[in-house]
A = this chain, B = another copy of it.
Amino acid sequence: MTLPTAPDAGAAVRRGPGRPRDEELDGQILAAALALIDAEQEVTVARVVAGSGVSRAALYRRWPSMTTLIAAALDVGRSVPAEIPTDGDGAGALREAVFAALLGDPSFGGTSQFTETRFRQRIRLVMADRQLQKAYWSSHVARRRGPMERAFLVGRERGILRPDLDVEASFDAIAGACYYQLIVRGDSFDDPATRARVRAALEIVWRGMLA
Contact = CB atoms under 8 A, between A and B. Distances in A.
Interface residues of A, number: 42
A126 B185 CA distance: 10
Contact of A173 (B127, B168, B176): B176
A166 B204 contact: yes
A56 interface: no
B204 A170 contact: yes
A76 interface: no
Consensus secondary structure, chain A interface: helix
Nearest to A176: B176
Contact of A181 (B120, B121, B172, B201): B172
Interface string A154-178: 0000000000011011101111111
A208 B205 CA distance: 6
A56 B43 CA distance: 38
Interface string A104-145: 000000000000000011011011101001100100010000
Interface of A: 120-121, 123-124, 126-128, 130, 133-134, 137, 141, 165-166, 168-170, 172-181, 183-186, 197-198, 200-201, 203-209
